[in-house]
């Protein structure tokens, strides 16, 4: 008997090999099993894809499988096919696909380790050559691999020296194995893995009834729309049938409750459930509702897991202990072998796209997996992506709508504030004055002590320039507080909401204090030394940080170009906004939530608690605060600058803006009291902002689709982005032109367009120059044919070429 396997992490000729199956495991071995096999002089992990009596080994003498690593196959046929799809669709080697899918602990590998064979005191007296001496001394400290030893000198010389040392028995080599080896030791604590070969215990049947009752008590009555959605999906769960649904439900319409009812349905059919969320850290409220209903049947996978925890959660899924798995995009590959339902919450979110290695989109893979596993998949969103909406419109997905908020809550009233009417009042120096007040005198030298600005107060700010602001009735208009675009109507609304004891979310999708530091004399801006972007000034620690590569350095005292003292801070982020608001509303309790403040474990939940208990009046934050926040006393949401996402060089910028604004607006008025939303913008007539004001997704998507069709963008075309990166700029641009030529020569002009080569919008990140070629096609097969023609092109050393199918980030 023979087995065909994929060697994990190996690409090229050796990725698919055939091995003999020892009699001891012949009865048991099946596709999906994880095994240890010999490869040259090493032992490596492989996944069995085929077992049979007459497999063709391609004329190579077959060696035998060494060991079966789990009694039960790690992947069922649906997941095996999903991984084949992953490799094929995203044009990646299959060995790479398995490597990126498996937890690192699942990769068992042997390495040849060298160690000393004699006592150090004896070795010290031997007359070695200088290189031999270096090797012996390194090995006296700890065993090393050949690769590690080769750093000690020229490769062939090191090999020769090792050969002599081994021949004279001064050192020896042994095989050492790393990775989880014995399946029996791998269960989560308290799990008996002894009877793993037997059928899965129907863990859920004793809980089935209880599950229903629990789900019932959390929210006894479904709205008629919710009930209709549940009723539509349920038959597919019961009949074990693939069917894709798009659950388009406005904010606060109770999508979570629909998911929970459906999960209960799948559990009582004795099947498992996979719930994907964009970011597990931002999904605490959804996770909480599931845990409240299903208790220990819920297993949560998250990106902060240790490698051991990740492996334990895989084992819990595999042995059927985890009946419901909630996780981020990588959870799509967890070995849930009895899938009865897949839910993709916030399906429009770009976090479903993997942006490194194999650039897959979990939302799309979820539909593929559901088909392979014969179960329904529910994609939920208040603002479905253009792609999913088009699938719904063409009846590829069945559209389920929740048009009303639960408990007849009103939508918040949304007003647009036209920032152009405040522009004349935008001063230049005020930011400096603010800093002067906040910094210790000793550190003042780095900022010019410019003109001081009179303190801004709502009363004062109204005496500003006369304008005809019609967007918000009855409100005056005035100078932007402290150089920040805090318009008078916004400040007034904040004050009123504070007085009425309502809570406010202030949304600004930009971190830091100043966007950049600029020399007022020569105009130069401090940029990151590794990236072509300016560095952001963070007041805390007085640091400059690069938001692309993470580099940071203390803010310099003088201009690098002309040597002048007195760099000026320009622009604003959440950090500065908090300072400005604190001065405007000295008695308000203000907190900030962005990735700078919620990095520490527990920081986010502490802020969430503060909002829940009413200890925070104003919460300033980035898009983090637009996701999943469900607080009943939030009665005002202020969007400081809606244009930030609109002005990105990306064909999805209007869609993202609409999504962000809708999500932000959806945070207001989720309780008894009605909510109010203020959107400040320089583009008040843009269709995405107008549609967000009216909370009219249908109108937005109609207009968006017209533009996409006209310009041949998804969903009316397939796209691929070929990225070319490297440290040597001329190599990168040469390579980009060659690839663009290859693509253009193959592409059929009537269906396929090749755009570029062009430098990426961010031309350099982490010292690497970046170019790109964009390919768009009305025909998926044409697109693939063109890419396939360019794929074999070998870039010169140091230049990396990668293909991003269905790209999400265009930067
Ligand atoms: Zn200068
Ligand atoms: Zn950088």
pLDDT digits (tens, 9 = 90+) for 554-594: 988 888 888 888 888 888 899 999 988 988 899 999 999 88
Percent of the chain with pLDDT over 90: 42
Residue 138 burial (C-beta neighbours within 10 Å; 0-12, 13-18, 19+): middle
Question: Ligand 2 mean position to 533 CA, how many Å?
Answer: 7
Question: Ligand 2 mean position to 532 CA, how many Å?
Answer: 7
Question: Ligand 1 mean position to 534 CA, how many Å?
Answer: 15
Q: Indicate whether 329 pLDDT > 90.
A: yes
Phi/psi of residue 243, each to 5°? Answer: -160, 125
Split at pLDDT 50, 70, 90, the class of 11 is: confident
Q: Indicate whether 340 pLDDT > 80.
A: yes
Give the total residue count for the chain: 811
Q: Residue 665 has what pLDDT?
A: 86
Pick from 769, 774, 718: nearest CA to 744: 774
Percent of the chain with pLDDT over 70: 85
Q: Indicate whether 428 pLDDT > 90.
A: no
Which residues have CB atoms below 5 A from the ion given as ligand 2? 528, 530-531, 546, 548-549, 551
Q: Dig out the tokens for 605 from the structure.
A: 């939940």
Question: Ligand 2 mean position to 550 CA, how many Å?
Answer: 6
Q: Indicate whether 365 pLDDT > 90.
A: yes
Q: Residue 220 has what pLDDT?
A: 58
Which of the ligands is closest to the CA of residue 525?
1
What mean pLDDT is reported for the chain?
82
Question: Ligand 1 mean position to 567 CA, how many Å?
Answer: 8
Q: Indicate whether 439 pLDDT > 70.
A: no
Q: Residue 599 has what pLDDT?
A: 67
Split at pLDDT 50, 70, 90, the class of 62 is: confident
> CA-CA distance, 454 to 129, in Å (whole number)?
77
Q: Among the listed ranges 42-51, 190-199, 628-637, which one has the minimum average pLDDT value?
A: 190-199
Which of the ligands is closest to the CA of residue 520?
1
Question: Ligand 1 mean position to 521 CA, how many Å?
Answer: 5
Question: Ligand 2 mean position to 548 CA, how many Å?
Answer: 5
Q: Indicate whether 303 pLDDT > 80.
A: no
Q: Indicate whether 235 pLDDT > 80.
A: yes
Which of the ligands is closest to the CA of residue 562?
1
Q: Which helix (H) or strand (E) holds 662?
A: helix 653-665
Question: Ligand 1 mean position to 559 CA, how many Å?
Answer: 5
Q: Indicate whether 408 pLDDT > 60.
A: yes
Question: Ligand 1 mean position to 448 CA, how many Å?
Answer: 13
Would strands 171-178 and 144-145 be described as parallel, antiparallel, or unpaired? unpaired
Question: Ligand 1 mean position to 730 CA, how many Å?
Answer: 30
Q: Residue 688 has what pLDDT?
A: 94
Which of the ligands is closest to the CA of residue 558?
1
Model pTM?
0.81
Q: Which residue do the tokens 């929970």 mark?
A: 260
> CA-CA distance, 96 to 763, in Å (whole number)?
28
Question: Ligand 2 mean position to 598 CA, how many Å?
Answer: 21
Question: Ligand 1 mean position to 710 CA, how many Å?
Answer: 46
Question: Ligand 2 mean position to 534 CA, how many Å?
Answer: 8
Cα diameter, the chain = 94
Q: Indicate whether 276 pLDDT > 90.
A: yes
Which of the ligands is closest to the CA of residue 765?
2
Phi-psi region of 481 (alpha: psi -120 to 50; beta: other; left: phi over 0): beta
Question: Ligand 1 mean position to 548 CA, how many Å?
Answer: 24
Question: Ligand 2 mean position to 460 CA, how many Å?
Answer: 41
- Neighbouring residues of 274: CB distance < 8 A, sequence distance ≥ 6: 324, 325, 327, 331, 332, 334, 336, 339, 341, 342, 343, 366
Question: Ligand 1 mean position to 556 CA, how many Å?
Answer: 12
């Amino acid at each position: 008997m023979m087995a065909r396997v994929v060697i994990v992490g190996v690409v090229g000729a050796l990725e698919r090999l055939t091995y003999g199956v020892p009699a001891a495991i012949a009865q048991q071995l099946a596709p999906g099993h994880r095994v240890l096999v010999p490869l040259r002089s090493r032992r490596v992990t492989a996944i069995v894809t085929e077992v049979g009596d007459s497999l063709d080994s391609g004329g190579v003498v077959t060696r035998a499988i060494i060991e079966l690593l789990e009694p039960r196959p790690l992947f069922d046929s649906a997941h095996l096919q999903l991984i084949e799809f992953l490799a094929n669709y995203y044009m990646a080697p299959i060995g790479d696909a398995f490597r990126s899918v498996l937890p690192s602990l699942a990769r068992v590998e042997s390495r040849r380790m060298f160690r000393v064979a004699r006592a150090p005191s004896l070795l010290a007296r031997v007359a070695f050559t200088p290189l031999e001496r270096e090797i012996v001394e390194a090995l006296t400290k700890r065993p090393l691999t050949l690769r590690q030893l080769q750093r000690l000198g020229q490769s062939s010389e090191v090999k020769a020296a090792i050969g002599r040392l081994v021949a004279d028995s001064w050192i020896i080599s042994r095989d050492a194995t790393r990775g989880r080896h014995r399946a029996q030791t791998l269960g989560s604590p308290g799990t008996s893995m002894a009877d793993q070969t037997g059928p899965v215990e129907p863990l859920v049947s004793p809980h089935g009834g209880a599950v229903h009752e629990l789900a019932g008590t959390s929210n006894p009555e479904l709205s008629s729309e919710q009930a209709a959605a549940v009723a539509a999906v349920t038959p597919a769960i019961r009949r074990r049938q693939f069917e894709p649904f798009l659950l388009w439900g406005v904010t606060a319409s109770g999508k979570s409750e629909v998911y929970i009812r459906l999960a209960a349905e799948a559990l009582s059919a004795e099947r498992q459930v996979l719930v994907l969320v964009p970011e597990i850290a931002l999904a605490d409220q959804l996770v909480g509702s599931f845990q409240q209903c299903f208790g220990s049947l819920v297993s949560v996978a998250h990106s902060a897991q240790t490698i051991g925890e990740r492996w334990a959660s895989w084992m819990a899924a595999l042995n059927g202990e985890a009946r419901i798995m909630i996780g981020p995009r990588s959870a799509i590959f967890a070995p849930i072998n009895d899938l009865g339902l897949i839910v993709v919450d916030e399906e429009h979110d770009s976090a479903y796209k993997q942006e490194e290695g194999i650039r897959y989109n979990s939302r799309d893979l979820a539909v593929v997996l559901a088909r392979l596993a014969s179960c329904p998949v529910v994609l939920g969103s208040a603002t479905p992506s253009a792609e999913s909406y088009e699938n719904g419109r063409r009846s590829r997905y069945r559209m389920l709508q929740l048009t009303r908020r639960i408990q007849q809550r009103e939508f918040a009233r949304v007003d647009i504030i036209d920032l152009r009417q405040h522009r004349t009042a935008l001063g230049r120096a005020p930011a400096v004055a603010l800093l002067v007040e906040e910094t210790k005198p000793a550190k003042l030298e780095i900022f010019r002590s410019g003109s001081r600005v009179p303190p801004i107060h709502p009363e004062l700010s109204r005496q500003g320039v006369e304008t005809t602001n019609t967007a918000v009735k009855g409100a005056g208009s005035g100078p932007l507080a402290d150089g920040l675009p805090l318009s008078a109507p916004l400040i007034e609304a904040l004050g009123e909401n504070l007085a009425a004891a309502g809570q406010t979310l202030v949304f600004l999708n930009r971190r830091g204090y100043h966007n950049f530091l600029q020399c007022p004399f020569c105009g130069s801006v401090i940029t990151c030394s590794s990236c072509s972007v300016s560095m952001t000034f963070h007041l805390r620690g007085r640091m400059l940080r690069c938001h692309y590569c993470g580099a940071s350095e203390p803010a310099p005292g003088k201009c690098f170009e002309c040597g002048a003292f007195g760099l000026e801070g320009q622009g604003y982020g959440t950090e500065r906004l908090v300072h400005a608001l604190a001065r405007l509303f000295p008695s308000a309790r203000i907190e900030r939530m962005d990735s700078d403040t919620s990095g520490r474990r527990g920081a986010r939940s502490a802020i969430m608690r503060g909002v829940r208990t009413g200890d925070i009046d104003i919460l300033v934050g980035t898009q983090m605060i637009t996701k999943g926040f469900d607080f009943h006393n939030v009665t005002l949401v202020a969007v400081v600058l809606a244009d930030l996402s609109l002005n990105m060089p990306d064909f999805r910028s209007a869609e993202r803006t609409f999504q962000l604004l809708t999500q932000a607006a959806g945070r207001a008025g989720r309780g008894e009291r009605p909510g109010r939303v203020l959107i400040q913008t320089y583009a008040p007539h843009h269709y995405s902002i107008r549609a967000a004001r009216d909370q009219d997704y249908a109108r937005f998507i109609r207009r968006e689709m017209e533009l996409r069709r006209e310009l041949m963008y998804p969903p009316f075309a397939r796209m691929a982005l070929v990225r070319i990166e490297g440290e040597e700029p001329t190599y990168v641009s040469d390579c980009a032109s060659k690839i663009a030529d290859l693509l253009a020569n193959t592409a059929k002009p009537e269906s396929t367009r090749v755009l570029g080569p062009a430098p990426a919008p961010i031309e350099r990140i982490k010292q690497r120059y970046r170019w790109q070629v964009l390919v768009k096609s009305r025909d998926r097969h044409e697109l693939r044919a063109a890419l396939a023609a360019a794929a074999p092109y070998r870039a010169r050393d140091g230049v990396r070429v990668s293909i991003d199918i269905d790209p999400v980030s265009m930067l």
